[in-house]
Amino acid sequence: MDWPHDPDGEEGSEGMRKYDMAIIAKKVDEEEDFPLERDEVVAEHGDDPIRINHRKVVALRDIFEYVDEEEFETITDMHKAVGNAMREGGFWEYHPEGANPEKKPA
C-alpha cells in the first residue's frame, strides 16, 4: 500500500520504530479529544499506517473495523476497545491464556 507517510518516520513513529497502540494513542489528545467518536478517528486517521510488528503494517481503518464501541469516554476506554479489536482481528501474535485472559496484559 502507498502510505501517506513513512510508518517509521517522524509522523508515524516519532523517528523511532514504535508499534500499534503507541502509535494510535499519539493520534489523540487525552485532555481535549474525549469523549471521542470512533468514526471521527477513522475519518481523520483511517489511512495512517500502524506498524503491528517488525514485519507488518496496516491502515488504522483495518484495526478499527473490529472496534464495536461507537464512542470512547476516556483514552483508557479507547485503549481497551482497540486492544480487543486487535485480538479479534488477529493483528497480535500474542494472546493471553488462562481462566481469565482479560485480566492479563497482552
**Could you tell me the three cell numbers for 80?**
481497551
User: 46 with 60: CB under 8 angstroms?
Assistant: yes
Q: What is the pLDDT of residues 22-47, one digit of tens each?
A: 788 888 888 888 888 999 999 999 99
Measured distance CA(6)–CA(20) in Å, rounded:
14
Q: What is the model's pLDDT at position 67?
A: 95
Q: What is the model's pLDDT at position 102?
A: 63
Q: Please give the model's pTM, rounded to 2 decimal places.
A: 0.74
**Banded pLDDT at 106 (limits 50, 70, 90):** very low
Q: Where are the domains of the chain?
A: 10-103
User: 77 with 41: CB under 8 angstroms?
Assistant: no
